[in-house]
Amino acid sequence: MHLALRLLTICVFAMGCSSAPKTIQVARETSPVESRDEASFMRGPHVNAFYGRYRMPWKHQSAIHVAHGAAHDVFELAHLQEHEKTDERFNAEMLEGTLKHPPKTEAEMQTYGPYIGQSIWQLYRAIDWTHIHHGATYDVMSSDEIAWDQKKEWTDKTVRHYLEKLDVARSPAPLDVTMRRAGVMMKPYFTYFRNYYPKSNNYFYAAHWWHPVIYEAMMLGGNGKLQDEIVRATDELTPAVFKDPPLRMPLSREIMPRYAQMSPESANIFDNLHMLHGIAYDIMAYPNWSLDQKKAELNRVVRAMAYQPGDEKLARKFSIPHPEMDPRRYEAWMKTPEGSMTDIMEEMMLEMMPMMMPNITASQNSSVMAQLKMKLTPGMQEGEIQGSLHDALMKIMPEIKMAKGAMEPGESSPEMMNMMMAGWTKKHGMIPDAPMIAMDKEPGATVRSVALTEGGSQ
Amino acid sequence: MKYLILFACIAVAGASDVSIAGDHTNLEEGVPVRIEDAYPIGYEGREVLVYSSYERTGDGEDRFELTPRLEYGFAHNWQAEFEAPFIFGGTDKTTSGNVDLSLMYNFNTELLWVPAISLKGTAEVPSGIDSAGVDTRAALILTKTLSRSTFFHRLHLNLEWRHNSSPSSEEREDRYVAGLGYQVRLGPNNQLLADVFREQDLKKNKNHNVAEIGLRHQWDPLTVLALGVGAGFADQSPDFRITLGLQRALNF
């Protein structure tokens, strides 16, 4: 039975792999006029629970979403020559907004980034819709009207609503899969944002620490008072983490392992959204494409990383490196450039090498991997080549073989993506699924029932 | 004034047992100014809106209006509205209690040089005072964002044609309403609005013009409170108008 499930997973994966290029070709837009196509949130007893219960964490979330909206216009309209000044100013303003004056209500992307809202609407649809999903899943976990043993059922309902009501849902497959489908690593913009705007980039790395650890705090706390204590203790780390941010994008599997086991679909959706943010900022920061070219490329990426039927079957295909992590502690391993995100990138580079660099020497190989590591680290390192990862590799190996036209905006290389997906299948397709987490025993329930009994006897 | 306070209380109390909304940037007629934007509520969105206004008419009469409205996003880019304005005070109450049924369709999201365009059709069911025949309206609504960078400014244009199916000898059969509005974000929780409208009245040979300014405040993630003031100018325009509004989405 177990073997049959694994085989089914591989088949589904293989179908997804072979359909990816088709999706890209069929979905290319022909008209500049697009419909608005928005949808509303899922109704239920959970609605508004996060806001009602955790006002300061809610405000932190709102501030982060304001920063996301603003970043699109700021980095698109900035001049790269002034990147240090722009980086300094944006980071300072967003830190101020997050830590000193967080807004009490949520922001749609267009309210703070109206220029890109009028130019690349599909990007904002994808982001706003996933932010609504963020809100719904926090609400489910915060709501004491949803019993602990029903949290998964309600979270699954929010995932279904998210996947079914709009056609821009992010995939519930792991980031390993969607990054391979997106095929952005060798694009001429990749790593621009983290290399030239490191402070702003790291602000968002801190933001992508914040979201998962709040879920994890809720997972540790149960429905009662213990949840309040752990969420507040975790959220109180916010100033310290934003001032000393992680140097990579933390993934759900690393810093919300329990939530990722409860709802791998939702966890992957958030990883996929957070990566989309990073890719969008790379494209905004890239100075050599017109806005129309950026739109073509971002629309391609939004589609490539979107939900494809069958993705749910892949949702548990990840390992959990720190199953016992405590969200109330900002550990050294959370801050380093090395981690699951970097592992994915290095794997992809090794998968691409045989096609791009069939005659690579050992020394060239080590130069490529060294440049990759530097490019993935925010800022510019000693010995790092200017420009994107693509620019750096072209300098090391000018004879590198790129698929014709694949580097152009809105284009991709199906052969390369298939090769990477085959690499992922070989390495990860047969790994055991991330385990389910038991939700029948509520954390803190014993403490709560004792307290209630004592309270009742007084 | 006692009517105004009463209506404000009714408006708030009427919405206190529902929850959720959050359609902060999308402008709705009357909450708190007349201008409306071209974007409908999201698919499957349900909202209740209540607004009440006091107007000192050009004839020196006190006119109070209380309007509850339901909005429903029954399909992508479509919005249905059900509304029943009630008129009070020492003024002409013709049409008070009529039920307005509207459908709005948005054709596109805006581009840098193309506004968002919507059409809205309304049928006014003659369930109210001294009403006869189903009157109809058709409106063209345009919205254009002006901004680059993180500022948020929008212009709106509303053009409406109104048809009176059973006009009396003193009433117009067809008339128009035209309005131009401006919207700007003031911080994360507030939207400042301004508009100017010209309308042909139902009575022949009467027209009025009103300029308004209003504030939409997002009270919580899902509730918007609104306050607007307006003044008439030229023709038979009202002296002034004050409007209070509340907008909340329904959690069912």
Model pLDDT for residues B164-194, shown as the tens digit of each residue: 998 989 999 999 999 999 999 998 899 999 9
DSSP state of A170: B
State the sign of the Cα–Cα–Cα–Cα dihedral A195, A200, A204, A205.
Answer: positive
Give the model's pLDDT for residue A14.
38
Contact A104 B220 (CB under 8 A): yes
- Quote the minimal CA–CA distance from B196 to chain A in Å: 24
Q: What is the pLDDT of residues B99-116, one digit of tens each?
A: 999 999 999 999 999 999
How far is Cα A339 from Cα A317, in angstroms, rounded to an integer?
Answer: 17
Average pLDDT over residues A276-303: 98
pLDDT confidence tier of residue A191, bands split at 50, 70 and 90: very high
Give me the helix-helix angle, A264-285 and A291-304, nearest 10°. 170
Which tokens is B196 given?
């100017």
Give the model's pLDDT for residue B150.
76
Chain B residue with CA closest to A118: the answer is B111
Has residue A13 got a pLDDT over 70? no
Has residue A9 got a pLDDT over 60? no
Give the model's pLDDT for residue A16.
40
Contact B43 A38 (CB under 8 A): yes
Give the model's pLDDT for residue A372.
97
- Quote the minimal CA–CA distance from A142 to chain B in Å: 16
Best mutation site among B17, B109, B145, B154 for testing chain A: the one with the most A CBs within 10 Å?
B109
- What is chain A's alpha carbon radius of gyration, rounded to the nearest angstrom? 22
Distance of CA A361 to the CA centre of its chain: 34
Has residue B12 got a pLDDT over 50? no
A457 to chain B, any CB pair closer than 8 A? The answer is no
Residue type, position B63, single letter: R
Q: Which phi-psi region, left, alpha or beta, contains residue B99 (left: φ > 0; alpha: ψ -120 to 50)?
A: beta
How far is Cα A107 from Cα A254, in angstroms, rounded to an integer?
Answer: 28
Contact A77 B148 (CB under 8 A): yes
CB atoms under 10 Å from CB of A300, counted, come to 21
Average pLDDT over residues B65-83: 97
- Quote the minimal CA–CA distance from A67 to chain B in Å: 10
Tell me the three state secondary structure of residue B237. Answer: coil
Chain A residue with CA closest to B39: the answer is A36
Instruction: For this complex, say whether ipTM is above 0.85.
Output: yes
Give the model's pLDDT for residue B221.
84
Average pLDDT over residues A115-121: 96
pLDDT confidence tier of residue A211, bands split at 50, 70 and 90: very high
Give the model's pLDDT for residue A296.
97
Give the model's pLDDT for residue A444.
80
Q: Considering only CA atoms, which of A27, A38, A34, A39 is closest in space to residue A308?
A: A27
A235 to chain B, any CB pair closer than 8 A? The answer is no
Give the model's pLDDT for residue B188.
87
Residue type, position B166, single letter: S
pTM of the shown model: 0.91
Which tokens is A41 given?
């949130």
- Quote the minimal CA–CA distance from A174 to chain B in Å: 28
Cα-based angle A242, A245, A249 (whole degrees, multiple of 5)? 120
Give the model's pLDDT for residue A217.
97
Of chain A, the percentage scoring pLDDT greater than 90 comes to 83
Q: Which among B20, B106, B114 is the nearest to A48, CB-wise? A: B20
User: Which of A281-290, A421-430, B174-183 has the least mean pLDDT?
Assistant: A421-430
From first CA to last CA, the distance across chain B in angstroms is 35
Helix (H) or strand (E) holding B210: strand B207-220
Has residue A450 got a pLDDT over 60? no
Average pLDDT over residues A85-103: 97
How far is Cα A187 from Cα B221, in angstroms, rounded to an integer?
Answer: 39
Q: What is the pLDDT of residues B123-155, one digit of tens each?
A: 999 999 988 899 999 999 999 999 777 789 999
Dihedral (C-alpha) A319, A325, A327, A328: value to the nearest 10 degrees? -170
A51 to chain B, any CB pair closer than 8 A? The answer is yes
* B215 in Cβ contact with B190 (< 8 Å): yes
Has residue B16 got a pLDDT over 90? no
Has residue B17 got a pLDDT over 60? no
Of chain B, the percentage scoring pLDDT greater than 70 comes to 91
DSSP state of B151: -
Give the model's pLDDT for residue A329.
97
Give the model's pLDDT for residue B234.
86
How far is Cα B135 from Cα B125, in angstroms, rounded to an integer?
Answer: 7
* B15 in Cβ contact with B54 (< 8 Å): no
Chains A & B: contacts with CB separation below 8 Å: 120
Average pLDDT over residues A147-161: 98
**Residues sharing a CB contact under 8 Å with residue B169, sequence separation 6 or more, in sequence order:** none
Mean pLDDT of chain A: 90
Contact B152 A111 (CB under 8 A): yes
B220 to chain A, any CB pair closer than 8 A? The answer is yes
Best mutation site among B147, B153, B155 for testing chain A: the one with the most A CBs within 10 Å?
B147
Q: What is the pLDDT of residues A49-65, one digit of tens each?
A: 999 999 999 999 999 99
Give the model's pLDDT for residue B69.
97
Give the model's pLDDT for residue A19.
37
How far is Cα A336 from Cα A334, in angstroms, rounded to an integer?
Answer: 6
User: Which of A143-152, A180-189, A374-383, A427-436 has the least mean pLDDT?
Assistant: A427-436
Mean pLDDT of chain B: 89
